[in-house]
Amino acid sequence: MAQNTLDASTLANVKTWLEGAYDDETKAAIRKMQAENPEELNESFYRSLEFGTGGLRGIMGVGTNRMNKYTVGMATQGLANYVKNCFPGEELKAAISHDSRNHSREFAEITANVLAANGFTVYLFDDMRPTPELSYAVRYFHCQTGVMLTASHNPKEYNGYKAYWNDGCQLVPPHDTNVIDEVLKITELKDVKWSGGEDRIITIGSEVDDAFMKEIEKNVLHPECIKANHDIKIVYTPLHGTGIKLIPAMLERLGFTNVNVVKAQAVPDGNFPTTPSPNPEEHAAMKMAVDLAKEIDADIVFASDPDADRVGVAVKKPNGEWMLLNGNQTMSVIIYYLLKEWKEKGKLSGKEFIIKTIVTSELPADIAKKQGVKVFDVLTGFKWIGAKIRELEGKETFIGGGEESYGYMIGDFVRDKDAVGACSMIAEIAAWAKSQGKTFFDVLVDLYKEYGFYKEGLLSVVRKGKSGAEEIQQMMKDYRENPPKDINGSPVVCIKDYKLLESKDMASGKIDKIDLPASNVLQFFTADGNKITVRPSGTEPKIKFYFGVKGELCCKENFDKTNDALDNKIDDIKKSMGLI
């Protein structure tokens, strides 16, 4: 791309940065791109990095469309302006943490400086800490807001900025869009208060760690099982992230004495040198942990992502092979254990509930209904789980919940997905199972034998450019105007349209209202218990299809055969819908 073919917006933004009060190193990097890499220059400057409903996320580097100290500072000023407007006359407080990514500490300190210069008392962690602990710190210090510097499980080139409200939950309406409006008003460096309140920054650390871990300890249901099986062999990897700060210490605190951390991945490193992607949903990220588990004949394996809010789990099957659980399976076992033991201990009063997202398996809902516990479906994203908890706070008791994308939460002392609490509960379940001569895998089998074998699949269909986006819009239009009467030979018995907020019984024609915010999502339920969810991306020309099918499991020996049959059923559904 030649200089004269650069976007007009790129040229204008580059001019502003070269003529403005930006540092010399930044200007030198811009001039180098002008001379050597105009395509990169265009990508870096053609627009401003979007502050979405979850905050910022993007590639690190110089430019308006990159994560850097300037875009972070300007976003923070917009957040500060909005919070000040919402809490007039109050003492303003904010909590800040960060993960192990490159520049995360720098961005956290910039965020702290800008908020402090705006009159906030800022509680800044002394080093990296998990996302759930940041959520907890917002509540612990009674802050109005909080910020976590992280790009979750994205590749090493990325960083991000997640903003939280006073309940420790990520921003929900109307605050999410209102903060975006305020951020968009910050267009120049002089709009930002960069310094001047450093004495209002308070360094925090072990006090919050201890309080947070004490809350997790309260979740324990069978301390006697942990004591009896304290030496079960646990393999854990933090994937070079923040989990190393708390998860081994938390397991030790609970009494586990044989925790084997993958040494090569225990060192925090934003380059994630031992894995192509620090995402515990992917087999490659779990490989070193599973290899260690095979070497020492472990009982359970788990991995947390860089900001320690997601957990990947591997379990050993009777034939000695290790199997990676999907997020639905891990969540279902956690919910199964929690509700079973709450009931056995007489802790259920009729005012308890769990929460899952609409794209998550229906198995946790079936478990809850059988135990007489309410279940709420919310839109995709953990902020909606937090919002539902806030709505029912003081009236009913949240036991646990989660989503299919490897995020789980036990108890309501945090309001975001929590790998520290989840790893602790997974280890307890493994110890409880061993007390009965079983494994974690056996618990999953017991669950499937009682409720049915639920299996899920996901397909992302990507289309390029403007025409691709239009094609995806047309797909959604066609599904609404001409919905399938049957899928893979099974009649569609119910259609849920989250854009119209209507649930239609196809036999009777009866329509019930859905009590959720509107979202461009469709769901088809079939007579044989299948669920197909169609959800287009709001930011790129991509549409996701979530498949949930169900079969019967007679015995442990038939697990692989049933699993393969359900995988084939998902493929048949894809074919019947013309997707493969």
Listed residues 204, 223, 247: the one ending a domain: 204
Q: DSSP for 227-288, please give it.
A: HHTTT--EEEE-TTSTHHHHHHHHHHHHT---EEE-GGGTS--TT-TT-S---TTSHHHHHH
Whether 147 and 267 map to the same domain: the answer is: no
The yes-or-no verdict on residue 288 having pLDDT over 80 is yes
Listed residues 451, 478, 507: the one ending a domain: 451
Please say whether the beta carbons of 256 and 461 come within 8 A.
no
Tokens representing 358 are 């609409």
Residue that the structure tokens 């062999």 belong to: 233
Q: What are phi and psi of 531, to 5 degrees?
A: -130, 125
Counting residues of the chain whose pLDDT is more than 90, the rounded percentage is 94
Which residues lie below 8 Å from residue 109, measured CB to CB, with a gap of 6+? 124
Per-residue confidence (pLDDT) for residue 6, from 0 to 100: 83
Listed residues 172, 204, 236: the one ending a domain: 204
Per-residue confidence (pLDDT) for residue 532, from 0 to 100: 97
Residue that the structure tokens 């923070």 belong to: 76
The yes-or-no verdict on residue 416 having pLDDT over 70 is yes
Q: DSSP for 351-379, please give it.
A: -EEEEEETTS-SHHHHHHHHTT-EEEEE-
pLDDT tier at 3 (50, 70, 90 boundaries)? low
The stretch 243-254 carries a mean pLDDT of: 98
The yes-or-no verdict on residue 579 having pLDDT over 60 is yes
Task: Tell me the per-residue pLDDT of 433-448, one tens digit each, with 9 for 90 and over.
Answer: 999 999 999 999 999 9
Helix runs in 313-352, H state only: 327-344
The yes-or-no verdict on residue 140 having pLDDT over 80 is yes
The stretch 484-508 carries a mean pLDDT of: 97
The yes-or-no verdict on residue 456 having pLDDT over 50 is yes
Per-residue confidence (pLDDT) for residue 469, from 0 to 100: 81
More confident residue, 50 or 175: 175
The yes-or-no verdict on residue 89 having pLDDT over 90 is yes
The yes-or-no verdict on residue 420 having pLDDT over 80 is yes
Whether 386 and 484 map to the same domain: the answer is: no
Whether 228 and 192 map to the same domain: the answer is: no
The stretch 514-534 carries a mean pLDDT of: 96
Whether 5 and 115 map to the same domain: the answer is: no
The stretch 537-546 carries a mean pLDDT of: 83
Whether 229 and 341 map to the same domain: the answer is: yes
Whether 262 and 161 map to the same domain: the answer is: no
Per-residue confidence (pLDDT) for residue 53, from 0 to 100: 82
**Structurally, how many domains does the chain consist of?**
4
Here the CATH number for the domain that contains residue 284 is 3.40.120.10
pLDDT tier at 580 (50, 70, 90 boundaries)? confident
* Burial annotation 287-297 (CB, 10 A radius, 16+ → b, else e): ebbbebbeeee
Tokens representing 439 are 């494994």
The stretch 79-92 carries a mean pLDDT of: 97
pLDDT tier at 468 (50, 70, 90 boundaries)? confident
The stretch 227-248 carries a mean pLDDT of: 98
Whether 239 and 311 map to the same domain: the answer is: yes
pLDDT tier at 412 (50, 70, 90 boundaries)? very high
Whether 445 and 459 map to the same domain: the answer is: no
Of the candidate ranges 269-273, 376-380, 461-465, 542-546, the one whose mean pLDDT is the lowest: 461-465
Q: Annotated active-site positions, please?
A: 152
Tokens representing 261 are 């951390």
CA 191/CA 319 separation, integer angstroms: 63
Per-residue confidence (pLDDT) for residue 171, from 0 to 100: 96
Whether 196 and 71 map to the same domain: the answer is: yes
Q: In which domain, by residue range, is 526 found?
A: 455-576
Whether 199 and 236 map to the same domain: the answer is: no
The yes-or-no verdict on residue 2 having pLDDT over 90 is no
Per-residue confidence (pLDDT) for residue 1, from 0 to 100: 47
Q: What is the mean pLDDT of the chain?
A: 95
Tokens representing 275 are 């894995």
Report in angstroms the alpha-carbon separations of 43 from 59, 64, 384, 542.
10, 9, 33, 20
CB-based contacts of 194-200 (< 8 A; 24+ apart in sequence) = 194/73, 194/113, 194/114, 194/117, 195/113, 195/117, 196/116, 196/117, 197/113, 197/115, 197/116, 197/117, 197/118, 197/119, 197/120, 197/122, 198/113, 198/116, 199/116, 200/116, 200/119, 200/120, 200/121, 200/122
Whether 26 and 57 map to the same domain: the answer is: no
Whether a cis peptide bond, with omega within 30° of 0, leads into 273 is no
The yes-or-no verdict on residue 113 having pLDDT over 90 is yes
Whether 75 and 193 map to the same domain: the answer is: yes
Per-residue confidence (pLDDT) for residue 4, from 0 to 100: 57
Of 460, 452, 427, nearest to 540 by C-alpha is 460
Here the CATH number for the domain that contains residue 554 is 3.30.310
The stretch 453-472 carries a mean pLDDT of: 88
The stretch 469-481 carries a mean pLDDT of: 92
